[in-house]
């Protein structure tokens, strides 16, 4: 899906926005201006908070623009060493737009803004379209959700397609843990989507080939405590990924062993750090 970008400047906010929502309904520049017009803090007033970490937060604005719910992610930067870097909002918007263009199942970007509040202080505001009746994979598993064999097979295939899509598009994911996988259900069953793209980076020449597999290692390590996920699910996902990326059967056995050791090491790190 191609994201139609529009540049926008509204009061203290400037950035880039999408010209349509995920269903293809147009969002005009005038609609954006009206949404942002009354108060520079308007889009930072939450209707429903999803997460807070210090001055940073993730929350939902309900029934805005084309009548959709929107996830707003804010990040306060007060470091003079970061003022010359692209803001998180711009980086995540561009990354999400590019991944959507490649057909990778991930969050749909609506806007990336920055607001300068001082010489070294800026507020980054990133907006995506909220998926109704969804939650991250960790919360779904903690709630005791049981998946049928058909569900598990489908979800393993979807995750393999996401990671293979990143591979083919020239990206790798530093932190693809269970909280960064969104799960929802529609008429075709459970669907999986990649969210929170802070950890997505370009795969640069010279990086170890194991960076290609880091996303699966991180996700597997974060899923080990949950008995609903079986060893067969891991192997199925990795085998599908290998098929999609053209990794030959002669190399798979060694790769599987290497990744299994990495998963166990990462799991022990998580236990030491988080106690789970």
pLDDT in tens, 63-107: 988 899 999 998 887 665 555 555 788 899 999 999 999 999 999
- Residue 74: strand pairing partners: 57, 125
The per-residue pLDDT for 182 is 97
CA separation for the pair 203, 271 (Å, rounded):
28
Q: Which of 114, 129, 144 is the last residue of a domain?
A: 129
The per-residue pLDDT for 26 is 93
Is the domain of 144 the same as that of 265?
yes
CB atoms within 10 A of CB 87: 22
The per-residue pLDDT for 81 is 55
The per-residue pLDDT for 57 is 87
Q: Are strands 48-53 and 56-64 parallel, antiparallel or unpaired?
A: antiparallel
Q: Considering all CA atoms of the chain, what is the largest pairwise distance in Å, rounded to the nearest integer?
A: 62
Question: DSSP H helical segments within the chain, as ranges?
Answer: 29-37, 88-101, 137-142, 149-169, 214-223, 231-245, 249-274
Count: domains in the chain: 2
The position carrying tokens 């591979």 is 167
Is the domain of 123 the same as that of 223?
no
Cα–chain center distance at 227: 24
Q: Is 199 exposed, middle or buried (0-12, 13-18, 19+ CB in 10 A)?
A: middle
Is the domain of 216 the same as that of 243?
yes
The per-residue pLDDT for 119 is 66
pLDDT above 90 (res 13): no
The per-residue pLDDT for 150 is 94
The per-residue pLDDT for 248 is 77
The per-residue pLDDT for 181 is 96
Is the domain of 77 the same as that of 177?
no
Instruction: Name the 3-class secondary structure at 3.
Output: coil
pLDDT above 60 (res 136): yes
Quote the domain boundaries for residue 74: 5-129
Averaged pLDDT, 9-16: 80
What's the token pair of residue 274? 């988080």
Q: Which of 96, 129, 162 is the last residue of a domain?
A: 129
Is the domain of 101 the same as that of 143?
no
CA separation for the pair 140, 189 (Å, rounded):
15
The per-residue pLDDT for 257 is 82
The per-residue pLDDT for 95 is 95
CA separation for the pair 112, 122 (Å, rounded):
13
Instruction: Name the 3-class secondary structure at 78.
Output: coil
- Residue 163: strand pairing partners: none
274 pLDDT band (50/70/90 cuts)?
low
Is the domain of 25 the same as that of 122?
yes
Is the domain of 49 the same as that of 145?
no
CA separation for the pair 92, 201 (Å, rounded):
10
Q: Which of 75, 106, 129 is the last residue of a domain?
A: 129
Is the domain of 184 the same as that of 153?
yes
Judged by phi (left if over 0) then psi (alpha if -120 to 50, else beta), residue 109 lies in: beta
**Global confidence as pTM:** 0.87
CB atoms within 10 A of CB 138: 18
What tens digit of pLDDT does each residue of 148-198 get?
A: 999 999 999 999 999 999 999 999 898 899 999 999 999 999 999 999 999
The per-residue pLDDT for 72 is 92
Is the domain of 267 the same as that of 140?
yes
What tens digit of pLDDT does each residue of 219-251 get?
A: 998 998 898 898 889 889 988 998 998 877 787
Question: DSSP H helical segments within 13-75, as ranges?
Answer: 29-37
CA separation for the pair 189, 24 (Å, rounded):
23
- Average model confidence (pLDDT) for the chain? 86
CA separation for the pair 108, 93 (Å, rounded):
9
CATH, residue 197: 1.10.510.10
What tens digit of pLDDT does each residue of 103-125 get?
A: 999 999 999 988 777 666 788 88
Is the domain of 122 the same as that of 188?
no
Is the domain of 166 the same as that of 221?
yes
Is the domain of 115 the same as that of 144?
no
Averaged pLDDT, 116-136: 85
């Amino acid at each position: 899906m191609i994201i139609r970008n529009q540049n926008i400047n509204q009061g203290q906010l400037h950035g880039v926005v999408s010209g349509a929502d995920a269903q293809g309904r147009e969002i005009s520049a005038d609609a954006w201006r009206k949404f942002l017009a009354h108060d520079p803090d308007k889009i930072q007033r939450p209707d429903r908070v999803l997460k807070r970490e210090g001055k940073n937060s993730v929350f939902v604005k309900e029934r805005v623009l084309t009548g959709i719910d929107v996830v707003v992610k804010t990040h306060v930067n007060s470091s003079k060493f970061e003022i010359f870097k692209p803001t998180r909002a711009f980086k995540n918007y561009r990354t999400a737009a590019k991944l959507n263009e490649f057909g990778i199942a991930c969050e749909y970007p609506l806007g990336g803004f920055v607001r300068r509040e001082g010489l070294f202080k800026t507020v980054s505001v990133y907006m995506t379209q909220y998926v109704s009746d969804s939650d991250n994979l960790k919360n779904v598993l903690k709630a005791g959700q049981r998946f049928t064999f058909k569900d598990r097979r489908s979800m393993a295939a979807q995750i393999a397609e996401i990671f293979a899509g990143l591979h083919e598009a020239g990206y790798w994911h530093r932190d693809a843990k269970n909280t960064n996988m969104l799960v929802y259900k529609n008429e075709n069953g459970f669907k999986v989507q990649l969210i929170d793209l802070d950890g997505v980076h370009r795969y640069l020449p010279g990086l170890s080939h194991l960076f290609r597999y880091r996303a699966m290692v991180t996700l597997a390590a974060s899923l080990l405590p949950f008995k609903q996920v079986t060893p067969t699910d891991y192997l199925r996902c990795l085998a599908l990924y290998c098929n999609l990326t053209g990794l030959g059967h002669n190399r798979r056995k060694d790769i599987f062993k290497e990744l299994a050791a990495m998963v166990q090491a990462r799991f022990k790190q998580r236990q030491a750090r988080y106690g789970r």
